[in-house]
Amino acid sequence: MKLLLLLANGFEEIEALGTLDLLRRGGLEVTTCTLNQTPLTLGAHNIAVEAELCLTELDSTQFDGVILPGGLGGSQALAATHGVLELIKEYMTQEKYVAAICAAPALVLTAAGILEGRKVTCYPAPEFIEILGDAYLSAKAHVDGKLITAAGPGCFTDFARAILECIQPGVSADVFKAALIDA
């Protein structure tokens, strides 16, 4: 199982890197991909991350799903990128995994137009809840078929656990026990 983690300037570091770490510990192959023309991407708290590839180099057929971290600036950039929105639509049509956390469900998934008849969670800011309307569900993490969403930075472990449980049932308990001790 190969997943793609998209990074845009302003991404929320703990949502991206914490999730990445836990998924890789769980045995998933996760590749980081930036929207930038060079591999360097700057997070919301000025942490620079070197992605493994750039969006312009992406062969979407090589992946089984996409992960969209939040962060207001990062989510706005993802939502404004035609290639990202097309990738999300393509993956939903092909019944591949789409996972989004924090601001990304409200900003990116709505921009992609994939939420009709679905329930998702997001960062519980009133403006995001309003954007999602009837699709909004108050939860730390939520799975709706192959669409996985989570509420925000404090829920990155719930997010990673939901992804792992969907893709590799039974693996997450051991991963979280080893990685976080208190699982």
For 69, phi then psi, to 5°, come to: -70, 160
155 is catalytic: no
For helices 72-79 and 82-93, the axis angle rounded to 10 degrees is: 80
- 102, 122, 155, 166: the active-site residue: 102
Count of CA atoms in the C-beta half-sphere (13 A) of 38: 5
- Residues identified as active-site: 102
